[in-house]
Structure 1
Amino acid sequence: MTREEGAAVVEAILFTMGDSVEISALAKAMEMDAREIKKYIDYLKEKYERSDSGIGIIELEKAVQLCTKKEMYEYLVKIAKAPKKAVLTDSLMETLSIIAYKQPITRLEVEKIRGVNSDHAVNRLVEFGLVQELGRLDAPGRPLLFGTTEEFLRSFGVRSLDELPSIGTVQVEEFKAQAEEEINVKLDI
């Protein structure tokens, strides 16, 4: 194995692990002597010392770790503070659709429609600002009512809930057939 190839293996391991890796573990994984691994690490250190590299290697007792150069911290802070785009999973989209079309709706009503616990999904949608509490239902336990927000309208490019696509009877029948098929698969019928 050439110096460049060995260094590439060390680099790949350190990158993938993220945390520090003991030199003895690297030696064992690469079936080499620790002194040889140290040569690869020294080669990588030299490579990363150049100004066109944003990373470096730090040594921690008998371990090494890839790290970001201190000069790059200001850029990391900027990206870390940037707002993160909400990623809506299928379960979140399903929950959001139910709330959008049935609002105001309680969490229990959402769960009856979905057939699964929806606490996490509703909480995430509230966290993303797509759903909000609208008040309480005048019923025993006074459950919270949920509905969509202006952020929901902006995100989906509609001015009002009236602009949401309507579900036709053909679509309802297709949804019922899909649901029955999923139930049959789950029950191995």
Structure 2
Amino acid sequence: MRRADIKNIIEAILFSSTEPVGIEQLNIAINEELSPKEIEKMLTMLIDEYKDNNRGIQIIKVNDKYQMCSNEEFSDYIKNVVGNPKKRYLSQATLETLIIIAYKQPITKNELENIRGVKCDKVLKTLTDSELIYEAGRLNKTGKPIIYRTTDEFLKLLQIDSLEKLPSISTQV
């Protein structure tokens, strides 16, 4: 199969998917013996083509996966047709809890409550319902407490592609 065809297939898959797609998934779909580096190179070419031509859509990277979305530059025009997307307003308590989870993950509810000094049941439900965090499993200790992690939706909200891009925290006061 020609490289141009493969690049077009990757573009079609990203366009059709509502969730970010990984390189391994793309390789399976293409059914070719391509290295991850080759697929990543084609993705980079697509990303650059969209940027260079100031297209209405773009490809973003989220946690080593890729997703097609509208170009933020044209958001006002999009709102004229599809309306204003739901804005997320997070209370101070919810925001504090989300920040703690982001930097301390994986973390249990008990660990969160020890850090914050208050119960976190309602805040955890709000963050889970908002798809900003998820239950990532249970610890293998007494009570088998649930551990929480942030989602790809959290990364999209912050417009970063991985947790490594979170600003560092200064411990000096």
TM-score normalized with structure 2 length: 0.50
Deviations 1:16-57 (A, max 9, x none): xxxxxxxxxxxxxxxxxxxxxxxxxxxxxxxxxxxxxxxxxx
Match of 2:127 among 125, 129, 153: 125
Equivalent AA in structure 1 for residue 92 of structure 2: D
Match of 2:138 in 1: 136
Deviations 1:102-143 (A, max 9, x none): 000001100000000000001100000100010001110101
Structure 2 unaligned regions, length at least 5:
1-81
Match of 1:89 in 2: 91
- Partner secondary structure for residue 149 of structure 2: strand
Runs (4+) of structure 1 moved beyond 6 Å?
Answer: none
2:108 aligned with 1:109: no
CA positional deviation for 1:87: 1.1
Structure 1 unaligned regions, length at least 5:
1-77, 174-189
- Partner secondary structure for residue 154 of structure 2: helix
Match of 1:164 in 2: 166
Match of 2:148 in 1: 146
Q: Distance in 2 between matches of 1:155 and 1:163?
A: 13
CA positional deviation for 1:85: 2.5
CA positional deviation for 1:168: 1.7
Identity over aligned pairs, percent: 47
CA positional deviation for 1:147: 0.4
- Partner secondary structure for residue 146 of structure 1: strand
CA positional deviation for 1:84: 3.2
From the CA coordinates, give the structure whose radius of gyration is larger: 1
- Partner secondary structure for residue 140 of structure 1: coil
The residue correspondences of 1:1-189 to structure 2 (distance < 5 A) are 84-170=86-172, 173=173
Flag the structure with more relative contact order, 1 or 2, with Cα contacts below 8 A and sequence separation at least 6: 2
- Partner secondary structure for residue 145 of structure 1: strand
Deviations 1:52-98 (A, max 9, x none): xxxxxxxxxxxxxxxxxxxxxxxxxx98xx86322111100000000
TM-score normalized with structure 1 length: 0.46
Q: Distance in 2 between matches of 1:134 and 1:169?
A: 27
Q: Which has the higher helix share?
A: 1
Q: Distance in 1 between matches of 2:155 and 2:102?
A: 10
Deviations 1:135-164 (A, max 9, x none): 001110101000000000000111100000
Q: Distance in 1 between matches of 2:92 and 2:86?
A: 19
